[in-house]
């Protein structure tokens, strides 16, 4: 079986589902088949002929997708319970979705990461962008944490895990079921050990000269946010000799990178006591505990309190969670980003730097930048935009899918 997208990778073997037994689903006449032919990876429920037979398909079923004229479009994973009823897996009509198919995708992704990074700490699989729709895999040395946010990945988890172990050689594979995407897919929230064992202590991760402690079983997401790596590095260049404030800090993200870059002090603010404890452990591991402090509390309350205390910092960073995770939340999300900018800008020394981040795919760069500038302006400050950052190259962008380019980081110099 040939897979034209990954010609040098292992080719699939015959699996339990043959082409003749694969069900066929079909687009309605008004569906945008052209977008699918040009690479868009999703079929929405209102674009598909959802007759009784289609609605009866089990979540995770592999099917052939045809346009309204019965022309083949691709092999898709189907979930009748999801708004994204079909996810494009392969455009080769002969493809078989089995262990070797997963191995082909993983090997292709691994080749990029091994070229980019000296150590095996990175996002290995970035969902649609790496040809595995809905699947996130973060690697922490000899442990991989998988977020299978699509039904087919749950159904084929044994093949996925076996391929992951075979290609990477990792000893431990954990399933993290806490992703928001699993809820939207109607999937369970049960975490599992798929191979080996879960680490019994936080895993130290070296990035940009800093040491981060990743809790792979009890932390947020998979335990660490690799996407901000290049933005941590850029901000660290501004931090030499600086006092730094890092709000929504998680396990010390920007603060620890700033300390590695020569900051005289860094204050991490987060609502999670366990996250701040991990940040303190990271600061201690890199010999910077004497320059590091934490403050637990609601970020908006702490920003307001610091303003009342007339606190001033050379570099202020705000990296909040997704305030606009979808279009219905966009307006409220943009108001929240504006409020963050308005409260944080007064804390920046004249000539200092304000770093504002968004991981909301529904808020595009222009909308996010506009919200930030409104907030800065309403604080009475004037800003230069000196840098715009995005996710690192282990989070590749799928050009046909705007959602894959979710992260934005704006670095302002304030007067």
Task: Please list, in sequence order, all residues whose beta carbon lies within 8 angstroms of the beta carbon of residue 216, skipping any fewer than 6 positions away.
Answer: 140, 143, 145, 174, 198, 199, 202, 203, 222, 223
Is-catalytic flag, 144? no
Q: Distance between terminal CA atoms of the chain? A: 62
CB atoms within 10 A of CB 380: 9
Inter-axis angle of helices 253-260 and 273-285, to 10 degrees? 10
Cα 346 to Cα 192: distance, rounded to the nearest angstrom: 45
Strands across the sheet containing 313-318: 292-296, 265-270, 243-247, 313-318, 348-358, 408-414, 383-389
Cα 56 to Cα 51: distance, rounded to the nearest angstrom: 9
Strand (E) or helix (H) holding 230: helix 229-238
Instruction: Name the pairing type of β-strands 84-90 and 72-78.
Output: antiparallel
Q: Give me the residues paired with residue 265 across strands.
A: 243
Of 144, 318, 357, 359, the active-site residue reads 359
CA 58 to chain centre: 28
Cα 23 to Cα 141: distance, rounded to the nearest angstrom: 40
Instruction: Name the pairing type of β-strands 243-247 and 313-318.
Output: parallel
Catalytic amino acids? 359
């Amino acid at each position: 079986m040939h897979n034209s997208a990954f010609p040098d990778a292992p080719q699939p073997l015959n699996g339990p589902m043959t082409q003749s037994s694969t069900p066929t689903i079909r687009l309605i006449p008004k569906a945008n088949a052209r977008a699918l032919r040009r690479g868009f990876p999703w079929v929405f429920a209102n674009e598909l002929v959802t007759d009784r037979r289609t609605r009866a398909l089990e979540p995770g079923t592999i099917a052939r997708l045809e346009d309204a004229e019965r022309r083949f479009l691709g092999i898709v994973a189907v979930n009748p319970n999801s708004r994204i009823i079909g996810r494009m897996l392969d455009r080769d009509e002969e493809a078989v979705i089995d262990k070797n198919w997963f191995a082909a995708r993983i090997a292709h992704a691994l080749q990029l990461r091994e070229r980019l990074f000296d150590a095996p700490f990175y996002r290995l699989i970035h969902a649609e962008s790496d040809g595995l729709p809905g699947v996130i895999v973060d690697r922490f040395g000899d442990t991989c944490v998988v977020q299978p946010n699509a039904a087919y990945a749950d159904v084929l988890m044994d093949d996925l895990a076996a391929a992951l172990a075979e290609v990477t050689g990792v000893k431990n594979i954990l399933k993290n079921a806490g992703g928001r995407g699993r809820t939207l897919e109607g999937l369970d929230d049960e975490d599992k050990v798929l191979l080996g064992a879960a680490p019994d202590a936080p895993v130290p991760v070296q990035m940009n000269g800093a040491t981060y402690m990743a809790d792979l079983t009890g932390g947020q997401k998979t335990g660490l946010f690799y996407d901000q790596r290049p933005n941590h590095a850029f901000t660290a260049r501004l931090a030499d000799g600086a006092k730094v404030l890092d709000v929504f800090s998680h396990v010390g993200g920007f603060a620890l990178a700033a300390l590695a870059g020569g900051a005289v002090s860094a204050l991490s603010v987060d609502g999670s006591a366990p996250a701040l404890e991990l940040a303190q452990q990271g600061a201690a591991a890199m010999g910077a505990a004497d320059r590091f402090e934490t403050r637990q509390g609601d970020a908006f309350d702490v920003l307001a309190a610091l303003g009342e205390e007339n606190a001033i910092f050379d570099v202020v960073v705000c990296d909040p969670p997704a305030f606009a995770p979808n279009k219905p939340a966009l307006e409220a999300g943009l108001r929240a980003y504006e409020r963050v900018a308005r409260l944080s800008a007064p804390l920046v020394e004249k000539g200092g730097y304000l770093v504002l981040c968004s991981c909301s795919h529904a808020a595009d760069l222009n909308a996010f930048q506009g919200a930030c500038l409104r907030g800065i302006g309403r604080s009475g400050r004037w800003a230069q935009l000196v840098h715009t950052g995005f996710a690192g190259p282990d989070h590749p962008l799928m050009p046909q899918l705007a959602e894959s380019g979710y992260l934005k980081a704006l670095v302002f110099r304030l007067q």
